[in-house]
């Protein structure tokens, strides 16, 4: 991080290689659309680069990036759901960019609302504690716990 | 659970990583390349207020750090010209400001058409159709008024046609109306008010965005020719056509929708954040310029995931227009009081400062068209 702030392209590349796969995967698991997930993760990195000079070196980069990516993924998934609901009411011919859901865990995740998906991904893919998730999403800790519980219960039923 | 989530295959993951790597590395390289300057003096008062807020915020809470960051933001292109001396390529601009509509020639000469709020060019750029609150007027470029029509709450004038015959579509209190280019034959076309755009090509076919569909109506007969799905009708920021008339472009804050009325299909092009400000097809129709809050990107509508960023800054930006030859783009940067002309190939930028003062406007002037 320090090297990237000083202008080292190789350190920037190392930062990208270390954080891209998880950021991309987290976005995909929330939005279930590979192209949109790519955009979200990419823009998370671009936002990071724009703010690189102002970034506090004492703080870890990963949680900061995950906060941007997961919040944007929730917004994108909500917007997509709204658009589909509105269009399905009149038999839309819009091309659906979402990927066909194949794996069982992905199918179970797909059945959750975006907010629950995000909490499950933050907890079980990225390994954050409920307290850290509450800070990441600006939610009360109780809300995080209940979303996590409901999400996992629903997934268990599907699996 | 963790193992299961890590096993889920993300489609196209390696190609996505490579694309993102290219974009991120390029953006990192550009980081120092875009010259910026401090906020102009006229923002000093705002900065002073923010500075007090920053001190208080930083003293009492960790989130105060974000306020401090805002103070450090830099806005504007450093080497901006103090005035618009000339346009970077052929054509003329229409500019809407508080004082009226301005015609800007390629050599930088400006003429004010006072009191008008909105305008658009005639098909070959010889005339201008402009609106006041209750008047539609056709004018020569030098300001001579050819004709006027008194109508209530007139807006969105759009002019189309050939060398010998033209039509103007506009909105008023009664809905969508049509009038011939010589001011005759004014009549209602539809009682519904909606975003409108003439479809390029033969005949007078007007596209309208009505309740999630693109409706094509023959302006001569009044017959509705076709209806195509066009995504949500809410929050439409822009509506235009590709130059060949085959596809329409609907702009929302969170996505673009490319509509093919012949096939009755619409293709959404989504963005990760709802920060799209405007978008337009290039004059060749092969590229779409997308202006977001703090960047200008170009994309091929056939491969919308591949995006080329040609300009970026702290923003927020406002409005985008292609030059008639497709070589330049004009974007507005209200916070810096600048217009930025960006070469479409990313080769160079030219910025013009003091835009509001030049067009005698308290609000930031808006480009209403860059014509032939």
- In this predicted complex, what is the ipTM? 0.83
Question: Which residue is listed with tokens 């950021």?
Answer: A23
B contacts of A103 (beta carbons < 8 Å): 4, 7-9
Q: Please give the residue of chain A at the shortest CA–CA distance from B68.
A: A54
Length of chain B: 372
Q: B222 with B238: CB under 8 angstroms?
A: no
The burial class, CB within 10 Å (0-12 / 13-18 / 19+), for B180 is middle
- pLDDT of B237 strictly over 90: yes
B contacts of A95 (beta carbons < 8 Å): 265-268
- pLDDT of A102 strictly over 60: no
| CB contact (8 A) between residue A124 and residue B229 | no
How many angstroms separate the CA atoms of B219 and B204, rounded?
A: 5
Best A10, A25, A38 member to test B by mutation, with max B CBs in 10 Å, is: A38
Candidates B2, B8, B72; nearest CB to A106: B8
**A9-31 and B13-30 are packed helices; what angle lies between their axes, rounded to 10 degrees?**
130
The 3-state DSSP class for residue B231 equals coil
How many angstroms separate the CA atoms of A24 and A45, rounded?
A: 10
How many angstroms separate the CA atoms of B159 and B168, rounded?
A: 4
- pLDDT of A55 strictly over 80: no
Q: Please give the residue of chain B at the shortest CA–CA distance from A26.
A: B5
Best A47, A79, A90, A158 member to test B by mutation, with max B CBs in 10 Å, is: A79
Write out the H or E segment, with its range, that includes residue B269: strand B265-270
Candidates A40, A45, A94; nearest CB to B24: A45
0.80 surpassed by pTM: no
- β B265-270/B276-281 pair status: unpaired
| CB contact (8 A) between residue A38 and residue B19 | yes
- β B248-251/B238-241 pair status: antiparallel
How many angstroms separate the CA atoms of B350 and B85, rounded?
A: 11
pLDDT tens digits, B113-152: 999 999 999 999 999 999 998 999 999 999 999 999 999 9
Burial readout B80-117 (b: 16 or more C-beta within 10 A, e: otherwise): bbeebeebbeebbbbbbbebbbbbbeeeeeeebbeebb
Give the start-end residues of each E strand in chain A.
Answer: none
For chain A, the 3-state helix, strand and coil shares in percent, each to the nearest 5, are: 75, 0, 25
Lowest average pLDDT, out of B37-41, B116-120, B170-174, goes to: B37-41
| CB contact (8 A) between residue B272 and residue A72 | yes
The 3-state DSSP class for residue B84 equals coil
Lowest average pLDDT, out of B9-13, B149-153, B182-186, B289-293, goes to: B9-13
pLDDT of residue B31: 63
| Residues ≥6 apart with Cβ < 8 Å to B42 | B337
Interchain contact B302–A (C-beta under 8 A): no
CA distances from B62 to B10, B56, B58, B70 (A): 37, 11, 6, 15
Interchain contact B23–A (C-beta under 8 A): yes
Interchain contact B163–A (C-beta under 8 A): no
Q: Which residues pair with B308 in a beta bridge?
A: B298
CA distance B17 to chain A (A): 7
A contacts of B20 (beta carbons < 8 Å): 16, 20, 24, 38, 41-42, 45
Q: Please give the residue of chain B at the shortest CA–CA distance from A98.
A: B11
Interchain contact B3–A (C-beta under 8 A): no
- pLDDT of B51 strictly over 60: no
| CB contact (8 A) between residue A94 and residue B21 | no
pLDDT tens digits, B201-236: 989 999 999 888 999 999 999 999 999 988 776 789
Please report the residues numbered 182 through 221 in chain B whose beta carbons come closer than 8 angstroms to any beta carbon of chain A.
212
* Mean per-residue pLDDT, B312-334: 94
Q: Which residues pair with B180 in a beta bridge?
A: B167
Interchain contact B36–A (C-beta under 8 A): no
Q: Please give the residue of chain B at the shortest CA–CA distance from A46.
A: B24
| CB contact (8 A) between residue B69 and residue A54 | yes
| CB contact (8 A) between residue B229 and residue A93 | yes
Helices assigned H by DSSP within chain B: 2-7, 13-30, 44-60, 64-72, 355-358
| Percent of chain B whose pLDDT exceeds 70 | 87
DSSP state for residue B11 in the 8-state scheme: T
| CB contact (8 A) between residue A92 and residue B212 | yes
């Amino acid at each position: 991080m320090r090297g990237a702030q000083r202008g080292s392209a190789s350190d920037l590349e190392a930062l990208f290689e270390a954080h891209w796969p998880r950021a991309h995967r987290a976005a995909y698991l929330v939005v279930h659309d590979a192209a949109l997930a790519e955009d979200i993760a990419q823009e998370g990195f671009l936002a990071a680069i724009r703010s690189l000079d102002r970034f506090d070196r004492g703080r870890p980069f990963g949680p900061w990036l995950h906060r941007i990516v997961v919040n944007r993924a929730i917004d994108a998934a909500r917007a997509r759901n709204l658009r589909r609901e509105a269009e399905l009411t009149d038999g839309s011919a819009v091309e659906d960019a979402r990927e066909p859901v194949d794996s069982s865990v992905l199918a179970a995740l797909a059945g959750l609302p975006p907010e629950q998906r995000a909490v499950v991904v933050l907890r079980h893919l990225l390994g954050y504690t409920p307290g850290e998730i509450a800070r990441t999403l600006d939610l009360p800790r109780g809300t995080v716990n209940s979303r996590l519980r409901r999400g996992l219960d629903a997934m268990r039923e599907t699996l | 659970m963790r193992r299961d989530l890590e096993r889920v295959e993300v489609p196209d993951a390696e190609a996505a990583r490579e694309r993102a790597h290219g974009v991120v590395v390029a953006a990192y390289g550009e980081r120092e390349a875009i010259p910026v300057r401090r906020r102009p003096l006229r923002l000093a008062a705002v900065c002073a207020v923010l500075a007090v807020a920053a001190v208080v915020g930083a003293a009492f809470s960790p989130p105060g750090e974000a306020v401090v960051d805002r103070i450090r933001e830099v806005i504007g292109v450093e080497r901006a010209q103090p005035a618009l001396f000339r346009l970077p390529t052929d054509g003329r601009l229409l500019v809407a400001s508080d004082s009226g509509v301005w015609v800007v020639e390629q050599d930088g000469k400006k003429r004010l058409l006072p009191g008008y709020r909105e305008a658009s060019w005639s098909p070959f750029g010889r005339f201008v159709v402009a609106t006041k609150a209750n008047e539609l007027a056709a004018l020569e470029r030098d300001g001579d008024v050819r004709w006027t029509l008194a109508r209530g709450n007139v807006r969105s004038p759009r002019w189309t046609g050939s060398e010998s015959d033209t039509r103007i579509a506009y909105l008023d209190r009664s809905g969508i109306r049509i009038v011939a280019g010589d001011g005759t034959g004014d009549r209602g076309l539809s009682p519904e008010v909606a975003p409108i755009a003439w479809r390029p090509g033969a005949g007078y076919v007007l596209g309208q965005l009505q309740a999630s569909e693109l409706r094509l109506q023959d302006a001569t007969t009044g017959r509705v020719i076709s209806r195509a799905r066009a995504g949500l009708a809410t929050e439409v920021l822009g509506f235009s056509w590709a130059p060949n008339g085959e596809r329409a472009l609907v702009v929302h804050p969170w996505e673009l929708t490319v509509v093919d009325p012949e096939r009755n299909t619409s293709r959404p092009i989504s963005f990760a954040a709802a920060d799209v400000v405007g978008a337009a097809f290039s004059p060749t129709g092969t590229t779409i310029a997308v202006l977001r809050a703090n960047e200008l990107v170009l994309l091929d509508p056939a491969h919308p995931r591949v995006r080329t960023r040609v300009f970026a800054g702290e923003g927020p930006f406002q409005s985008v227009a292609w030059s008639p030859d497709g070589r330049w783009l004009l974007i507005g940067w209200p916070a810096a009081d600048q217009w930025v002309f960006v070469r479409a190939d990313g080769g160079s930028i030219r910025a013009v400062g003091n835009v509001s003062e030049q067009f005698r406007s308290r609000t930031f002037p808006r480009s209403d068209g860059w014509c032939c």
